[in-house]
Amino acid sequence: MVLAKIEVAKDTYLVGIGVSPGISIGEISLINRRATAEECSIDSVEVESEVARFHWAVEQARIQLREVKDSVSSQQHLREHLYILDTHILILDDAMLVQGTETAIREQLNAEGALKRVLSQLRKLFDNIEDEYLRERRSDVDAVGERLMRILTGEHERTLSEIGHKSLIVTHDLSPADTMQMDREKILGFITDRGGRTSHTAILARSLEIPAVVGLETITSLVYDQLPAIIDGTTGVVILNPSEETFKEYLQRKQSFEYLEKELICYRDLPAVTKDQERIALRGNLELASEFPLAKKHGTEGVGLYRTEFLYLGRSEPPDEEEQLSAYRQILEEMRPHPVTIRTLDIGGDKFVPDLNLSDEANPALGLRAIRFSLREVTLFKLQLRAILRASAFGKVRIMFPMISGVAEIRTCKRILRDVQQQLIDEAVPFDSEVEIGIMVETPSAVFVAPFLAEEVDFFSIGTNDLIQYCLAVDRGNEHIAYLYDPLHPAILRAIKAVCDAGKKAGIGVGMCGEMAGEPLYALVLLGLGLTELSMNPACVPRVKRVLRQLSRRDGEKLVEKLFTLPTGKEVALCLDKEMRGRLPDIFGDALI
Ligand code: PEP
Ligand code: MG
């Protein structure tokens, strides 16, 4: 749909969430998939034909999705994402959507109006989900809703396959079906209204290495086709209608970024060793098999966080033991000889594991999530542990439990793990009996009792994404209080230090796998705090390695002493910035790191 041309001032700066690094300059192609629905009441005699029209639309949607699925299933690089289309086909059977709309039509609303009402109810339900990943699955329901609406209104959908020339794609939220039909060569970047770091767009853009900025809220209503624009997927900046001067500046930044990218690849095979000969393991955080090539390309030393929940999401049944075994085995074989840290299910609520009937919670972030869910659903937990242990026969596995809040919890996990190990021994099924056990430190209570926890496990991994949320009482997904979400807050630095000290005293490794680990600017602080392993988005590994090789633990410790005298995160940030610019002006002198 082409919108009326809006006046866009020169150098209109917008800031969203940069989810896939890199700079692209080009013209916009607007894919506005939002159908304009006429909402009206109908006569009682029209109800049955309106219900029939809605069911016809559902069938048409099913046919369309199957066609997309057939057309892409032959493309190797997209196979991994086919499950998204299956999810959409499943949503077409969802009772809340289909029966809900039918009920609303019977209340004498036309099909479009009824569907609109039900979609808005579903959106509210999703918005109340605490878990960022699950909340973003709202986009699947939105995509199906929009497809149905377009069929009902007869509006034509412009797809990515219709893009005639290389352009920056602007859309409300990228439909997985769109991304699967697209021609990679024609896409310079993605810019969307919706989304966060774990939305489909973000994951896909990262694995295809296409710059992307998401979460701009209203970008689709601000732009038109062929409007010149610049996108910086590292900083999240989008510039509409750039001036000659801005254009030149970003062209230069783009060239420097690409030059740096090429140069950084040289670091792939170099060890991450500091100037004082400290070896820091730099590992990757992975969710999908499609990310393996990226991890290898950037030289990650194995996986520091494998988020297994991605195997469970967007489907009606949890994966069985064999399916999990095959997924874990694949990643272990890909990463050999390096270790793979498999985190057990970090999920909350029953939305995506339908056979388990869990009630809604008033406070999901503080509720039945992560290890608490697994300890309640012990059968499911044991099944996952069996699959992980069986996979350990094919490579070096480390098992990590999420959101541990105290010693009793980890002891229960270990007892269950021992039961599963005994079962496998009884069945003569091979596994690695030396498999290392660790926990994510992401609750304040775990920080306080870290010395006790350290006696129970082989390693700690600090999950700063949640640790910051729980320590500072700041919802990690709430844009209204995002200004309070501060990794350099003095309380956070002290929490990290306490965990590192406890780990060191007990002689166990302490890593970090939250987003903070992948920020090169923090490398010296993290060294000084005492971390021995950093796990991050694979694309960050060469950048962090380049910085680490020019720093020393001793200098980090001195810096931490200085930072610990400062009372606010802002002062810490300023001091750190000055220190890093002074030490590595070629890297931190500009914003291209
Ligand atoms: C974290 O909390 O820092 C973490 C790495 O886990 P997730 O982002 O999956 O909650
Ligand atoms: Mg977490």
Residue with the larger pLDDT of the pair 310 and 467: 467
Fill in the DSSP letter of residue 591: S
CA of 193 to the centre of ligand 1 (A): 24
Same domain, yes or no: 186 and 143: no
CA of residue 396 to ligand 2 center, whole Å: 23
Do residues 162 and 1 make contact, with C-beta atoms less than 8 angstroms apart? no
- pLDDT given at position 149: 87
Instruction: Give me the pLDDT at residue 4, please.
Output: 45
Q: Give the C-alpha distances (Å, rounded to integers) separating 401 from 326, 437, 447.
A: 20, 8, 15
Q: Whose C-alpha lies nearest to ligand 1, atom 4?
A: 463
Lowest mean pLDDT among 47-51, 201-205, 246-250, 563-567: 201-205
Q: Given pLDDT bands bounded at 50, 70 and 90, which one contains residue 288?
A: confident
The pLDDT confidence band at residue 591, using thresholds 50, 70 and 90, is very low
Residue 65: CB partners within 8 Å, gap ≥ 6? 85, 88, 89, 92, 147, 177
- Pocket mutation for ligand 1, best pick of 198, 283, 346, 476 (most atoms within 8 Å of C-beta): 346
Domain identity same for 255 and 278: no
176 and 234 co-located in one domain: yes
Q: What pLDDT, on a 0 to 100 scale, did the predictor assign at position 365?
A: 85
77 catalytically annotated = no
Which residues on adjacent β-strands are paired with residue 305? 285
State whether 391 and 413 are in the same domain. yes
Residue 5: predicted pLDDT: 53
Q: Is 302 in contact with 338 (CB distance < 8 Å)?
A: yes
Instruction: Give how many domains the chain has, as a whole number.
Output: 3
Q: Let me know if 200 is a catalytic residue.
A: yes
* Cβ atoms within 10 Å, residue 545: 25
* Residue 475, pLDDT score: 84
Q: Are 48 and 98 in a shared domain?
A: yes
pTM over 0.75: no
The domain that holds 106 is classified in CATH as 1.10.274.10
Domain shared by 168 and 138, yes or no? no
Assign residue 403 a region (left: φ > 0; alpha: ψ between -120 and 50; beta: otherwise): left
Does residue 131 sit in the same domain as residue 182? no
- Whether the pLDDT of residue 353 is over 50: the answer is no
491-502 pLDDT, tens digit per residue, is 999 999 999 999
Regarding whether 306 and 197 lie in a shared domain, the answer is: no
Angle at 355 between CA 349 and CA 359, to 5 degrees: 35
Decide if 123 contacts 138 (C-beta within 8 A): yes
Q: Over range 345-366, report the average pLDDT.
A: 64
For residue 452, pLDDT over 50 is answered with yes
Is 5 within a domain?
no
Q: What letter does residue 242 receive in the DSSP assignment?
A: -
Does residue 4 form part of some domain?
no
The pLDDT value recorded for residue 3 is 39
Q: Is residue 7 part of a domain?
A: no
> Is residue 3 in a domain?
no
Across 433-458, average pLDDT = 98
Average pLDDT, the chain: 87
CATH number of the structural domain spanning residue 18: 3.50.30.10
* Contact assessment for residue 495 and residue 468, using Cβ atoms and an 8 Å cutoff: no
Q: Is 514 in the pocket of ligand 1 (CB under 6 A)?
A: yes
Q: Hey, whose CA ends up nearest to atom 5 of ligand 1?
A: 514
CA atoms of 405 and 452, how far apart (whole Å) = 12
Mean pLDDT of 570-574: 97
Residue 246 and residue 241: Cα distance in Å, rounded?
10
Residue for token pair 């479009």: 112
Supply the pLDDT for residue 180: 62
pLDDT value at 200 more than 70: no
pLDDT band at 349 (very low <50, low <70, confident <90, very high): very low
Residue 386 lies in a domain: yes
Q: What pLDDT band is residue 181 in, cutting at 50, 70 and 90?
A: low
Return the CATH number at 485: 3.20.20.60
* Domain endpoint, select from 209, 240, 262: 262
Which of 243-247, 358-362, 568-572 has the least mean pLDDT? 358-362
Which residue range forms the structural domain that includes residue 17?
12-33+161-262
Alpha helices in 266-396 (DSSP H): 292-297, 309-312, 321-335, 371-376, 378-391
CA torsion angle for 295, 300, 304, 307 (degrees, to 10)?
0
Between the CA of 43 and the centroid of ligand 2 the distance, in Å, is: 52
Q: How far does the centroid of ligand 2 lie from the alpha carbon of residue 334, in Å? A: 25
**Cα 3 to the center of its chain, rounded Å:** 32
Catalytic choice (200, 298, 338, 489): 200
> Taking Cα atoms as reference points, which of 548, 543, 538 lies closest to residue 296?
538
pLDDT band at 158 (very low <50, low <70, confident <90, very high): low
Verify cis geometry, omega within 30 degrees of 0, for the bond prior to 487: no
Between residues 585 and 3, the one the model is more confident about: 585
Residue 135 lies inside a defined structural domain of this protein: yes
DSSP secondary structure of 517-580: GG-GGGHHHHHHHT--EEEE-GGGHHHHHHHHTT--HHHHHHHHHHHTT--SHHHHHHHHHHHH
Residue 434 lies in a domain: yes
Task: Read off the pLDDT band of 356 (50, 70, 90).
Answer: very low
HSE-CB at 570 with a 13 A cutoff on CA atoms is 2
- End-of-domain residue from the set 153, 186, 217: 153
pLDDT at residue 184, as a whole number: 75
Based on the domain organization, do 368 and 492 belong to the same domain?
yes
Distances, alpha carbon 408 to alpha carbons 271, 405, 443, in Å? 38, 9, 14
Is residue 1 in some structural domain?
A: no
pLDDT in tens, 116-129: 999 888 888 877 77
- Ligand 1 near 170 CB (within 6 A): no
Question: Are 238 and 287 in a shared domain?
Answer: no
Tokens linked to 80: 């991994």
In whole angstroms, what is the distance from residue 110 CA to residue 53 CA? 10
Output the residue whose Cα is nearest ligand 1's atom 3: 463
Distances (CA, A) of 355 to 68, 316, 351, 358: 29, 8, 10, 9
85 and 168, same domain (yes or no): no
Residue that finishes a domain, picked among 262, 284, 312: 262
When mean pLDDT is compared over 190-199, 232-241, 340-349, the highest value belongs to 232-241
Cβ–Cβ < 8 Å for 233, 19: yes
Position with higher pLDDT, 317 vs 402? 402
pLDDT of residue 352: 43
463 CB within 6 A, ligand 1: yes
Is 355's pLDDT higher than 60? no
Tokens of 268: 């792939």
Confidence bin at 186 (pLDDT 50/70/90) = confident
Report the run of H or E that residue 256 belongs to, with start and end: helix 244-265
Q: State if residue 176 touches ligand 1 by the CB under 6 angstroms criterion.
A: no
- Span of 143-147, 393-397, 428-432 with lowest mean pLDDT: 143-147
Is it the case that residue 176 has pLDDT exceeding 90? Answer: no
Clarify whether residues 21 and 63 are in a common domain.
no
Residue 531 — pLDDT band, cuts 50, 70, 90? very high
